Copies of this chain bind each other. A is one copy, B any other.
């Protein structure tokens, strides 16, 4: 499928979806985008040489593949099942792939709806952030049928490094939650460690040299210790997005029975940080809650 020129609709041309859809154009597909703010869709079309549609349905009509990367559950329901949504416009046998981080519940619901319409569907949240979307090196966690995964995988290669088929509908979303739960503990651990070093009067560069190669090592420590030590947070993955993701995990934990003491606590710390005006700053701003 990757060598085939496909008709693709991409719904949501934000900081993630914009460059992802751009990679699809570069790969040789014919791409039509939809964005709630029409001007953004037009700007995307001009930048990448694709087309812009007035509604999700218009973009999805005649498309072989419809992809979405929007804001949340409500946005996703709107662009798929809402008035002028994509699902009713799609042709039988077409493929729907959602890259939004949403609840497992809506992912499963869309899978059922898609099946009823004779569509293939996949929940496929991504990690790797804005820089991963731009570089085309995202990691994608997929939930859905083997047939849907087989159809989607070569298309997603345009903007992904790692693509893993985890399981049935919703499994992509629950795996993304696993990822964010782990990150919450790691960033808080790194934050407490760094602040402890600072209030102890230690040279944080030397401490990093000593502790970053062993059992305390993490991506967060390697990539954020230096900026956290300098108090730099205006980049990366925003607190507001992390709160949304932790909210999804905590919601899902009421269904699956998982106990998440530290993820729940860190979610509250992030609520503090939002109230302190840090909502748009990188998640590593967690260290700023700790006295120095």
Give me the interface of A with B, judged by CB distance under 8 Å.
104, 127-129, 139, 141, 161-162, 164-167, 171, 174-175, 177-197, 199-203, 206-207, 209-211, 213-221, 223, 237, 249, 252-253, 256-263, 265-266, 269, 290-291
Contact = CB atoms under 8 A, between A and B. Distances in A.
Given A196-B253, A196-B256, A258-B290, A215 B183 contact: yes
- Counted per complex, copies of this chain come to 2
B182 A213 contact: no
B291 A188 contact: no
A108 to B, nearest CB: 12
SS class, residues of chain A in contact with chain B: helix
A175 B197 contact: yes
5 contacts: A104-B200, A164-B206, A171-B202, A189-B263, A200-B252
Given A178-B196, A186-B186, A218-B219, A167 B260 contact: no
B257 A206 contact: no
Contacts of A182: 189-190, 192-193, 211, 216, 218, 221
A207 B176 CA distance: 9
A216 to B, nearest CB: 4
B162 A207 contact: no
A104 B171 CA distance: 47
B184 A127 contact: no
Contact of A166 (B129, B194, B203, B253): B203
B166 A179 contact: no
Contact of A258 (B139, B171, B199, B221): B199
